[in-house]
Amino acid sequence: MVTKLHEDYLYKFINALIAFFLFLTANTVYWYNYNFRNKIFGCFIIICLVAIFYSFMCLSFYKRFSLKYVLFCLGYFGFAFLLFSKNYYDGYSSNLLIVVYILFPITIFTWIYLQFCIGGGNDLLLVFKNIVIFFALLSLFIYFLVFFFHISPSFFLTIDWGSQINVPGYMGLFFNTQNTVSFLGLELLRNSGIFTEAPMHSFVLTLALLIVLFIEKPTKIKKTIFFEILILAITLVTTTSTTGLFICILAFYFYFYHHLSHYLRLILGLLLPVVIIVLINLLISKYQTGYGSFSVRLDDMKAGYDAWINHPFLGNGWKNEQAIQQYMLGSRLLFNGNSGLSSGFFASLALTGGIQTIILFVLPYVLYSFKRKKYAFPILLFILLINTIVNSTFIMITISMYMYASFFFDNGANTIPIEMNKHQLI
């Protein structure tokens, strides 16, 4: 039986599993529970091994290994191995970080390269987006039940997020990890979904929104796209994350500016000062009603920068968070103080160094912008990275590898649908 690889059930199944585990490892409560973490990590390793075996099998069978692909993998692996050697010698490596920074990037780059070869370069991100929307719907439903009807939690889960805490869970699909906060003049419960805190939930919601607006091709019915955007936007508001709302407003502005006629663009351009005023008011509101988190984030950026200056090229060590903490405000290091990191970009600079940060979070963004002539997605994603501690998550590494693959291999005419004989590949 001959079929297009893009429509192969095994391909779709592997792709869905990868997307689900990218979601599950994006700082969810399960990822930060010791027992669940080991199981999730083990399963994800197996899935990645299956994915790279499947990719090699298809690419070899159809002779689609390009010189650019081989050179990129060899170059990245050689550089990453040198960094690993330094961190291993200094005692700052771990099995997880070896996978995150060395093995996983090449694996996911190979998988996405295969997707570009068959004309489905966006497949993984689109499935990830669908998973986020599904869990957003679930979180909204349970969130309103908890907020308005005050239903009791069904169990408690212990997570190690800065310190060990027991968080109340509802059916395993919603966790109340934070107290109510004052947001835009209202006292609201923070919707953290299944994540360790609301900003992490906001991160995946914002990422899914950016995928809908700037990655997904407009082949769906407009009502479906509107529904997806509406669900993501409403859920974002319930997280009460200023960063998420800030990027959401900017994303809508960039999206409509790009898709409107010249006349309407002029009108939208005149509205830019209004948008800026709204964003400034959001920041002022955050400063006045949530000074703690605002000041902590600023202190994190300063501490990360000060630590980075000491070792600007190779960093202070992958696990050496003490190098940053020594520059934090003294009050944050007291018992029950907030000594956790909150800025992914500055944490990456301080811990992994300028070279690795450029390779993972600067160069791919620049190359993607240069190739696609689209700047909103990488710019807004970079703002997310600055304001959220997601630098060592698998999904952020995946986005970087997607941008590299898009730059090297998204050539339109050179991507042809591969047809396969299932019996030949088994």
- DSSP states of 318-344: TT-THHHHTTS-GGGGSTT---S---H
Mean pLDDT computed over every residue of the chain: 88
Two structure tokens written together for 203? 């991160």
Q: CA 241, CA 247: separation in Å to the nearest integer?
A: 10
Domain boundaries, the chain: 129-288
Q: CA 111, CA 48: separation in Å to the nearest integer?
A: 9
Q: Crossing angle of helices 272-289/262-270, nearest 10°? A: 40
The pLDDT, as a whole number, for residue 1 is 30
Tell me the pLDDT tens digit for each residue of 368-404. Answer: 999 988 899 999 999 999 999 999 999 999 999 999 9
DSSP 29: T
The pLDDT, as a whole number, for residue 339 is 66
The pLDDT, as a whole number, for residue 99 is 96
DSSP 102: I
Q: CA 271, CA 269: separation in Å to the nearest integer?
A: 5
Residue 140: name the closest of 267, 231, 16, 228 by CA.
231
Amino acid (1-letter code) at residue 220? K
Amino acid (1-letter code) at residue 415? T
Name the burial class of residue 97, with classes exposed (0-12), middle (13-18) and buried (19+) by CB atoms within 10 angstroms of its CB: middle
Two structure tokens written together for 122? 């966006």
The pLDDT, as a whole number, for residue 359 is 97
The pLDDT, as a whole number, for residue 125 is 98
Measure the N-to-C terminal CA separation of the chain; round to a whole number of Å: 12
φ, ψ at 252 (rounded to 5°): -65, -40
Residue 200: name the closest of 177, 219, 168 by CA.
177
Chain position carrying tokens 């679930």? 138
Amino acid (1-letter code) at residue 137? L
The pLDDT, as a whole number, for residue 3 is 46
All residues at 6 or more sequence positions from 234 whose CB lies less than 8 Å from its CB, including other chains? 140
Chain mean position to CA 85: 27
**Mean pLDDT in each 10-residue stretch from start to end of the chain (426 residues)?**
65 98 98 96 98 94 87 94 92 94 97 92 97 98 92 94 90 90 75 95 97 86 86 94 89 84 72 73 59 73 95 95 89 64 94 97 96 92 94 98 91 49 46
